[in-house]
Structure 1
Amino acid sequence: MQRHTQELKTGWFMKEHGVKPTIDFYLPVKQVPSQVHIDLLANNIIPDPFLDANELSVRWIGEKDWIYRTTFQTPTLSLASGDNQITTDLVFHGLDTYATVTLNGKTILSSENMHIKHRVDISPHISTNGTENELRIVFKSALLRGRELITQHPEHTFHVRQTEASRVPVRKAQYNWGWDWGPILMTAGPWRPVVLEWYVARIEDVWMQYRVSQDLGRCSGYLFARVSESVGLDEKDTVVFSLAREGENVELIRLEVQARSGVDGVVKVPFSFEVPELWYPNGYGSQARYQLSAELFRGDRRLDSAVKLVGIRRCELIQENDEFGKSFYFRINGIDVFAGGSCWIPPDSFLAQMSRDRYTKWMRLLVESNQIMIRVWGGGIYEDDAFLDAADELGILVWQDFAFACASYPVFPAFLRSIEEEARQNIRRLRSHPSVVIWAGNNEDYQVQERYKLEYDPNDTDPESWRKSSFPARYIYEYLLPNWVREEDPSAIYHPGSPWGDGKESFDPTVGDIHQWDIWHGQMERYQDSALLSGRFVSEFGMEAYPHLSTIRRSITKRSQQHPGSMMMDFRNKALDHERRLMTYVTQNFLVPSDLQSFTHVTQILQSEAMRYAYKSWRRMWGRSGARKCGGALVWQLNDCWPTISWAVVDYYGIRKPAFYAITRALGPLDVGIWRECPPWTGGHADPFAIINADSCKFDVWIASSLQEAVEVDLIISFISIASGTLIGDTITTRITANPNATTEVLENQYAKLHTPQDEDIHDPFIIHAVIRTADGKVMATDTAWPQPLKYLDFSNRKVKVQISPSRNRITVSSDLPVKGFVFEEREGLTFSDNGFDIVPGEEQVVTVAQGPNEDEDLIWTYIGANKSTLGQQDSGPR
């Protein structure tokens, strides 16, 4: 017989477990996977934790124990001749977190790790008399168990950033304890599927290890299968491997091996073939994939099969000494790749709610915004197969942290046993995905070591001494994890942490990756100075902004609380000192409005501007082959786990902030950038007129290209009065050849040549506007450099014109005067091809509406200096 499976999805019930429970009756569970909060909310026991301050009223859930139960029939099978024993397994793809499982009153499993899959042979325990089997899972409080573990291990000091230390010894998604962007919602439950399986023998896994030759002309290596069986394999049992191009029936490789020839159930065969079709990141080539299969035969009867889609690529992390220190960038199939992208947190506080469709939509957002890398942060989970499948299909590079974040982790034996199983399982699960290009040992744990001055000697090469030091987690990151990665996936790239720089201080900009938090956190530097704050690879940086109004009003239900600085607005922003930090950046750069719509808009333009400066500056440092000063930039963060105010550029409901579009423009295949000197304006003796003095307005212009061939473009640079909209300087027009996959420096240390006014000491404030066009006139990219700060400029009477097509799917925006930060209000069901853009006189911004408003809905827009206006109304002047 072949293997059969049955997902135990329905027929579940849950209740509180323990002495004198508050909820002492079983509640129906709509479906499994699920988590406690989902089921209590569905049964109207608790209010929605995502609304108002309801998070506080449901925290008691994390201190309770819970039980889930269901029943199922014993499978009735007609055995084929020769099959004298069938194994019946229960497979738990994820139990959150301290779980004890009983079947018909017999304990069959105890689990202490949310990140692990369990398979239990229940053949001896299932009913044989036709009665139903009862399955119960008791989930103990991870919060209370974590506190117990701390007291049980006084040998270790549980240093922690972000909420309480009880999270550190518990192998559970760390963000459940709350973070500076997320609530404290301690989940429990069967958070991934529970599946019943029965079989005689099965293929547990199939994978390949391969090498692509340097000239990309040959792929060779080994195909592997792990075989599990009930009663032993015999000479008639064979494993047949095949490899075929995705969607094609023609086999490229077909190889057969005796099933019992392997060691510990693992069989392998060598393979080699010419001219492989390679997998590339989006924008660099196709996402070719192959179907790899292994079939287990007993004679001519197939007992089981396993199939995977795999990609073949040559991936290198280039770390070479150069004029800037030591490089850090990725080379895929011989092509240097600037890794512009985002960091990823868990996309929901209740992960059992995530669907394959939601994952795919998130990954498509990366493609739409020209991003090619997503960093899966270490305080969450090893992401779902749906996430990885979408990354493979769409050409997104995945940086995967191991699940450690912002703490000093222990090394007591039970903890190490648990993380070994966790690491090996997840390496095996992810190793066939071509999108996964690097594993990092942790998130910011070396910063914890630095902060608390824990022992760390880079010259000490003895792992046992690391284990006994005040920073024992070094033993995990620099000894255990690299060994496990090497054993399970020898070709994988491993990096001890993020950030990490060869044992140097984690903020060293000359080596490894850095988290650049001197914008927002730390020194709270100006975002205009991003060019001075680069690293060899910037794997975190960010700026906060409000989500669009629809999300704010959806999550804060009381109208009296829908204003900046309200109790509920502050409650939803979990960032430390967020009022001081956000207001510092707002007041430094903008006139401060008091109404919600205008203040929301100002924070969004703040974030958008920070993204413009950072991505353009650091992409400029991509440079050329052999001089890659910056190899990538990943914003913190792409997404939210609940509706909130955070650094996310797309909110919980998938609604894009203007910063999303700023990133899209900055990471285009061909982009133009302007750096404009930005004199200080907050110093005690700063000259405020320096921002408009042409003699001090030094600027650079460059073109950044990810294209693999040189492109000839026309570059036009103009100087336009903000007050009159007229040209006030000599326009620069030149034809430039943009170098392939490089930065082409066009102008450096130039000064604006303005038409001399009557008073030679004073000029109108002006913008510098750059456009690159192809020979046939197609606009490839634009950039606009404004005097800083924006709050010193007069934005009144911009004379904006908005025209919408009769079909309501095309909008044309223009103005007589330069406009800063034009934003359409977005909501679910209403998205745009571009948003948060500047408008220059003489040019039209044409925006397509991906999903349009209903006929009876107004289209709402605003910009810096505008009154709130709706479609069909003329600009009515300044606020």
Structure 2
Amino acid sequence: MARLHAVTGRCVTPLSEGWELCVTEPGAVPGGDWLPAPVPGTVAQALRAAGLYRLGDPLPLHDRDVWYRLRLTGEVACTLRFHGLATVTEVWLDGKRILSSDSMFQSHDVPVTLCGTHALRLVFRALNPVLKGRNGRGRWPVRLAEPAGLRAVRTTLLGHMPGWCPPVPVVGPWRPVELITEDGPLRVRSADLRATLEGRDGRLSLTLAADWGGSARPPGWLEVGEARAPLRWTGQGELSGELRLPEIEPWWPHSHGKPTLHAVRASVGDARVGLGRTGFRRIEREPGDGFALRINGERVFCRGACWSSPDIVALPGTRDAYAPWLELARQAGMTMLRVPGIAAYEADAFFDLCDAMGILVWQDFMFANFDYPADEPFLDGVRQEAAQFLDRVQASPSLAVLCGGSEAEQQAAMLGLPRERWSQPLFDTVLRDEAERGRPDVPYIANSPTGGPLPFAADAGVTHYYGVGAYLRPLEDARRANVRFASECLAFANMPAAGALPGVPAVHDPRWKARVPRDPGAPWDFEDVRDHYLRTLHGGDPMILRYEDPDRYARLSRAVTGEVMEAVFAEWRRAGSSCAGGLVWMFQDVWPGAGWGVVDSAGVPKAAWYALHRAFRPVQVLLTDEGVNGLAIHLLNETAEPVEAVLTLTALRRGEVPVLRAERSLTLPPRSAHAMPASSLADRFIDLTGAYRFGPPTHDSVVAALSDPRSGALVADAFHFLQGGRMERAELGLGARVERTDEGWALILSSRRLARSVHIEDDGFRGEEEWFHLPPGKERRLRLIQRHPGAAVPDGEVHALNGLDPTRYRWTA
């Protein structure tokens, strides 16, 4: 049902101040050691604020009880609303238990009457004794998370996955606690709001379950802008109506159009009900054995990453906590984020921001890997959990996919169980029914991955594609595997910037290695995977390089994972590709180090983020090596408008001397993708890919660029190197100067020879673009972004992987 943002006569008071907590032995009465506690928040967050906890230290809260207390004062009949209690919880008011809960994913309303001053207590019982008392045995073992009893308890797997994330126990009132009073004739119990796009018209339907305290029930109105339609009372105590909006401006992902939102209101007599904002869009799954989405009739290539949390300790749910992370996702060109089943449901603010930014959300229900109970009490709790979540996001246009959970089918199949045991009623029936009831406009899939003769087959349904990645396949496998949709892919230990893990030397130190992700029980980790591609693309032995030139090793390590990601997405986005989407595992790190994230835990983009920023451009040029057919140029325009551009193709010898330069003016139709042979631009034969080997190559690199015909500004570029990642280091003639602008600072770069993986090192600033290739004779202007508020004047170095020495820059008046 829709989120009721404002209802006349309803007073919602957040109970966020004055809380204290005390940690005790299981079953013990709290003593005198009480600490201030943030609510919403977690126990680990409170201990961190008090200087009693540091991320990575042991914190045995699952072996302790934790008490929260608050004094309540009032003279009113009201409702206590608990949006989320983690996890086995009792709520006591003046010594009387008023609620018991064993799910952190359910909210609860408890009616109470306040008469003066009252003592409110929340008791979070030790989880480990509860788990020991549950039947933890399923039909298959699970290494991902421990202990096995987690299958029967509704709590997040974050903090329970050794090798994946730090063991942070999620305990406490992690979502808001509110006191709700109502004064006025209208009492809204629930609202069911449905927004759909039918052709070019919007259709909005609303059902309010409501009570009217007056003598006669007045009529109501449903309103969007100046448009309105009547709401009529039914015999079941409901107000119902429908509003049609001709030629409505639809909602689009930001890559394909404008994510237009419309404010929705209802009025009943003098009462006003604010229903937030919604967007009108139509989302459909394409028929066939693959998985592809059409938005408003247009096929959308979904690209982005899998989400963890802005802060694994606090699991915050505020707009301020989400906004900088989601803005980085939008800036990178990501059109979809997946909230995986190992994480937690995000708060309303997450979906509000995704709605406004035009970012699609693939939402797993919070289930992963386990064989879950099939008894009715457990499934009834799941139904309530799913219904409450779907009620919250009923009006959200960004919700694009609902998925039963993560890797349960895969787990069963990979362990060799018979095919009939791969499925579970939880996914095939219970969650499917709730999804169809709550959001019939959103495609549902039972599990991720799923489809094909095996759940993890890449060429059918949805896959978790780690062919290029953990399985060490060559880059060509991205095409050979015929990937249809990768809801997970390209997991690497992405190297952060120098100093991201203060005081810990990279790679060899045990404290560094402890934070490198690994699959439990595997004799390798994801730095080994990264080293494999460093060796494959750049040559040489990474171990020897680390011995002899650790700085060079670190720079190549930062660059190589982004190079792999760019190459794979070029393959998947090319004209004629079978792939309809890819989501990198993962978006952000959960703690400092070389984690899976393309953004580090402090919110600083890594080299891989910059690579995805280029790979995800909505107007794009790509180059693919088609063997003896030569080099193919792929031109993409996802926007709603035609794009006028100049295509330039240049072949360079030693990165400097042009042996071929061809140019063509063209128009890219809206929402189009097409390919052309690079040889069609030249007036003579030149072996651009070195396929025929008629003597030594005449060149070592090829550059394709799209530019604006009026301003000459670069729109997109692509590079092909005949020796792959291998490069000769030379004096490049790399130049850098700094200018002050009305918007801040700009860095202007130029190079005499093609400079590869250009990046800056500046304690106070980072570039809006980094780790890019800079062709000779072209200036590149970068906006500089402050790393911290105290950064005043740029003063740093520009590096290129194929350069001998960095170029120093500083601003002087």
Q: Select 1:801's aligned residue among 715, 720, 735.
A: 735
For the structure 1 residues 737 and 309, does the alpha-carbon distance in structure 2 shift closer, same or farther, using more than 3 Å as the test? closer
Deviations 1:462-488 (A, max 9, x none): xxxxxxxx45x6211111111112222
* Partner in structure 2 of residue 452 of structure 1: 415
For the structure 1 residues 163 and 800, does the alpha-carbon distance in structure 2 shift closer, same or farther, using more than 3 Å as the test? farther
Contact 1:203 1:225 in 2 (8 A): yes
* Partner in structure 2 of residue 349 of structure 1: 312
Alignment of 1:175-254 (within 5 A): 175-178=158-161, 180-199=163-182, 202-214=187-199, 216=200, 218-220=201-203, 222-227=205-210, 236-238=216-218, 240-245=220-225, 250=226, 252-254=227-229
CA distance in 2, matches of 1:34, 1:537: 36
Residue 288 of structure 1 deviates from its aligned partner by 2.4
* Partner in structure 1 of residue 518 of structure 2: 575
Matched, 1:565 2:508: yes
Matched, 1:816 2:765: no
For the structure 1 residues 510 and 572, does the alpha-carbon distance in structure 2 shift closer, same or farther, using more than 3 Å as the test? closer
Residue 282 of structure 1 deviates from its aligned partner by 0.9
* Partner in structure 2 of residue 640 of structure 1: 589
For the structure 1 residues 22 and 665, does the alpha-carbon distance in structure 2 shift closer, same or farther, using more than 3 Å as the test? farther
- The worse-fitting range, judged by mean Cα deviation, of 648-657 and 505-514 is 505-514
- The worse-fitting range, judged by mean Cα deviation, of 543-552 and 366-375 is 543-552
CA distance in 1, matches of 2:689, 2:401: 54
For the structure 1 residues 95 and 390, does the alpha-carbon distance in structure 2 shift closer, same or farther, using more than 3 Å as the test? same
Residue 119 of structure 1 deviates from its aligned partner by 0.5
For the structure 1 residues 549 and 244, does the alpha-carbon distance in structure 2 shift closer, same or farther, using more than 3 Å as the test? same
Contact 1:16 1:22 in 2 (8 A): no
Q: Select 1:307's aligned residue among 266, 270, 275.
A: 275
Contact 1:158 1:409 in 2 (8 A): no
For the structure 1 residues 238 and 515, does the alpha-carbon distance in structure 2 shift closer, same or farther, using more than 3 Å as the test? farther
Residue 196 of structure 1 deviates from its aligned partner by 0.9
Q: Select 1:766's aligned residue among 685, 700, 711.
A: 700
* Partner in structure 2 of residue 460 of structure 1: none
Q: Secondary structure of the residue that 1:375 maps to in structure 2?
A: strand
* Partner in structure 2 of residue 83 of structure 1: none
Contact 1:572 1:645 in 2 (8 A): yes
CA distance in 2, matches of 1:235, 1:510: 64
Alignment of 1:773-852 (within 5 A): 773-776=707-710, 777-791=712-726, 793-806=727-740, 809-825=745-761, 830-851=765-786
For the structure 1 residues 12 and 159, does the alpha-carbon distance in structure 2 shift closer, same or farther, using more than 3 Å as the test? same
* Partner in structure 2 of residue 693 of structure 1: none
**Unaligned runs of at least 5 residues, structure 1:** 50-54, 77-86, 321-325, 458-469, 679-695, 874-879
* Partner in structure 1 of residue 656 of structure 2: 725
Q: Select 1:552's aligned residue among 500, 509, 513.
A: 500
* Partner in structure 2 of residue 292 of structure 1: 264
Q: Secondary structure of the residue that 2:657 maps to in structure 1?
A: coil
* Partner in structure 2 of residue 602 of structure 1: 556
Residue 319 of structure 1 deviates from its aligned partner by 2.0
* Partner in structure 2 of residue 713 of structure 1: 645
* Partner in structure 1 of residue 68 of structure 2: 68
Q: Select 1:256's aligned residue among 231, 236, 260.
A: 231
CA distance in 2, matches of 1:644, 1:563: 9
* Partner in structure 2 of residue 318 of structure 1: 286
Scaled by the length of structure 2, the TM-score of the pair is 0.89
Q: Secondary structure of the residue that 1:605 maps to in structure 2?
A: helix
Contact 1:343 1:374 in 2 (8 A): yes
* Partner in structure 1 of residue 536 of structure 2: 588
Residue 28 of structure 1 deviates from its aligned partner by 2.7
CA distance in 2, matches of 1:239, 1:596: 74
* Partner in structure 1 of residue 82 of structure 2: 92
Matched, 1:171 2:154: yes
Letter in 2 for 1:204: R
* Partner in structure 2 of residue 538 of structure 1: 486
Deviations 1:641-697 (A, max 9, x none): 22232221111111111222222222222211111368xxxxxxxxxxxxxxxxx79
Letter in 2 for 1:61: L
For the structure 1 residues 835 and 755, does the alpha-carbon distance in structure 2 shift closer, same or farther, using more than 3 Å as the test? closer
CA distance in 2, matches of 1:209, 1:845: 47
* Partner in structure 1 of residue 19 of structure 2: 12
Q: Percent identity?
A: 23
* Partner in structure 2 of residue 119 of structure 1: 109
For the structure 1 residues 760 and 488, does the alpha-carbon distance in structure 2 shift closer, same or farther, using more than 3 Å as the test? closer
Matched, 1:862 2:810: no
Scaled by the length of structure 1, the TM-score of the pair is 0.83
For the structure 1 residues 121 and 455, does the alpha-carbon distance in structure 2 shift closer, same or farther, using more than 3 Å as the test? farther
CA distance in 2, matches of 1:673, 1:113: 48
* Partner in structure 2 of residue 504 of structure 1: 453
* Partner in structure 2 of residue 137 of structure 1: 122
Deviations 1:694-739 (A, max 9, x none): xx794222212213344453322221123x6212x33333344434
Contact 2:379 2:430 in 1 (8 A): no
For the structure 1 residues 400 and 65, does the alpha-carbon distance in structure 2 shift closer, same or farther, using more than 3 Å as the test? same
Letter in 2 for 1:119: D
RMSD of aligned C-alpha atoms? 3.0
* Partner in structure 2 of residue 480 of structure 1: 430
Residue 395 of structure 1 deviates from its aligned partner by 1.1
Residue 23 of structure 1 deviates from its aligned partner by 8.6
Contact 1:714 1:733 in 2 (8 A): yes
CA distance in 2, matches of 1:26, 1:238: 55
Residue 107 of structure 1 deviates from its aligned partner by 0.5
Letter in 2 for 1:188: V
Residue 855 of structure 1 deviates from its aligned partner by 4.7
Matched, 1:40 2:15: no
Deviations 1:310-342 (A, max 9, x none): 11112222124xxxxx34322222222221222
For the structure 1 residues 565 and 717, does the alpha-carbon distance in structure 2 shift closer, same or farther, using more than 3 Å as the test? same
Contact 2:282 2:297 in 1 (8 A): yes
CA distance in 1, matches of 2:142, 2:163: 17
Contact 2:565 2:611 in 1 (8 A): yes
Residue 305 of structure 1 deviates from its aligned partner by 3.3
Contact 2:487 2:582 in 1 (8 A): yes
* Partner in structure 2 of residue 81 of structure 1: none
* Partner in structure 1 of residue 3 of structure 2: none
CA distance in 2, matches of 1:478, 1:836: 45
Q: Select 2:664's aligned residue among 734, 737, 746.
A: 734
CA distance in 1, matches of 2:277, 2:809: 51
